[in-house]
Each structure stands twice: as C-alpha cells, then as structure tokens.
Amino acid sequence: MSFQRWLYLILAVALVLIALLFVRMHGAAAQGVAGRAKGDAEAGRLSAQAWCTECHSVQRETAGTGKFAPDFTVIASRRSARWLHAFLRSKHVLMPDFEFKPDEADDLVAYFASLKRG
C-alpha cells in the first residue's frame, strides 16, 4: 500500500473515532440533564409565585391573566424539560435575568412538568 493510502486510512479512522467521541459526549450530556430534572414541584410552584407572577400566570387556575408573558401552562405544553432547564440556567434577554441555581431550576422544571400532566 502506498503512503498516500495509509494516510487516508489513518485520517478516516481518526474521523470515525472523533465522531464516536462526540456522540458519546452528547449522550452523557443528555443523561446529565435528564438526571438533574428531578426537582420538587411544590418548591418550584412557590418559587414561580415569588419570582414570576409579575409577568406570567403561573397556575392552571389563573391561566390567561398574565400581563404580557406566556402562561406557564402554555410553556409547559410547548417546551421539553431539557429545553426548560437549559433556558432557566442561561441569560435572559426579554425578561429579568434571574440566576437560578441548579436545584432551583430543577424545582421549576418539576413544576412545569406538573402543569403538563394536567
């Protein structure tokens, strides 16, 4: 086999290994987010009432009464737990930039899940 073929073979193997590494890392990150999504829905409800009612309707009974932000029931029906957790832990452009700790975000995500269950 020529040197050029060996080089192509080595590059192909390296690319496959890198792709497998990225797939493995992505799976581990997804499992980490899923594992963190186990919060206390009641604590999340209390946090939502304390922090979010200025703009959002946060309970099923008050749906439609939010000032200008979407109701939590609508958000719960349209967003996944993974998306919500990432959103709550990132900077916010169109709302106050709350800095939720991981356990606070877990609690809020659990509360959103309770709204989704109906």
Task: Show the tokens assigned to 85.
Answer: 């957790």
Mean pLDDT of 73-96: 87
Most confident of 53-57, 62-66, 108-112: 108-112
Q: How far apart are CA 54 and CA 67, in angstroms?
A: 8
**What's the pLDDT score for residue 56?**
86
C-alpha to C-alpha distances, 20 to 13, 16, 17, 27, 65, nearest whole angstrom: 11, 6, 5, 11, 48
Q: Give 92's Cβ-side CA count (13 Å radius).
A: 12
pLDDT band at residue 16, thresholds of 50, 70 and 90? confident
Give me the percent of the chain exceeding a pLDDT of 70: 82
Most confident of 28-32, 68-72, 107-111: 107-111
User: For residue 108, what are the contacts with CB-CB under 8 A and spacing of at least 6?
Assistant: 39, 44, 47, 48, 84, 88, 100
